[in-house]
Amino acid sequence: MLQVALHNSARSVILLMVAVVFVAWLGWDAGDRVSAATLVTLGLAVAAWRWQLNRHHGRQSTLTPGEIRSVVHQLEANAVLVGLMWCVATVFIYPTLRGTTATVYVVIVAGSVATAAFFMSMAGRSFALLSALQLGSLVVVSLIPGRAASVPLAVLAVVFGVTMHRATREFRDTTQRALRHGLEADVANASLVRAKEAAEAANVA
């Protein structure tokens, strides 16, 4: 499962950077050049980190327990960095948006969380950390009085976050059970092969 998480995290980089550049452009156009530059810088750091992780560990057929712990911790830290990046966008850029662009931003956030659910749920607490920061900041900004205030959006973000968390947990549990059953079947098949070989050897003797 960790190999899948590594490969998919690297594949998601292009989509992530497209979203980052678009949101940064919105911030730049609104006059918040500091937030726009910060967003791009964090996005590039996240992308480089994911590519490096996949290049170093994605092609290995097996990982040692120490390597597994290291990869999981790095994916969790990467998720925190992504979450902080979206916090910057939500706190400083999102409130400056109006109409369609504000709606598009919310869709981008939801899409980012949904995309992350497919691979980050397999790497420790990565998805929980990312979604807490990403959706949490949207909820906070939506509850603070101001141009971006929207109680219905805050409620929907909470419901969406809880739903995605439950779905990813079920997905992870189902995948783990399937892998465990596959391993048990492999062990049983190996035992049958050994028993057959032993019986054939006894018959020859």
- Closest alpha carbon to 35 in 70, 84, 1: 84
Rounded to whole angstroms, the Cα distance separating 143 from 158 reads 12
CB 134: neighbour CB atoms within 10 A? Answer: 25
User: Per residue of the chain (205 residues), what is the pLDDT tens digit?
Assistant: 566 666 667 777 888 899 999 999 999 998 899 999 999 999 999 998 888 887 776 666 666 777 777 777 888 888 899 999 999 999 999 999 988 999 999 999 999 888 887 777 777 788 888 899 999 999 999 999 988 889 999 999 999 999 988 887 776 666 555 545 555 555 566 666 666 666 666 666 5
| pTM, to two decimals | 0.76
d(CA 126, CA 50): 13
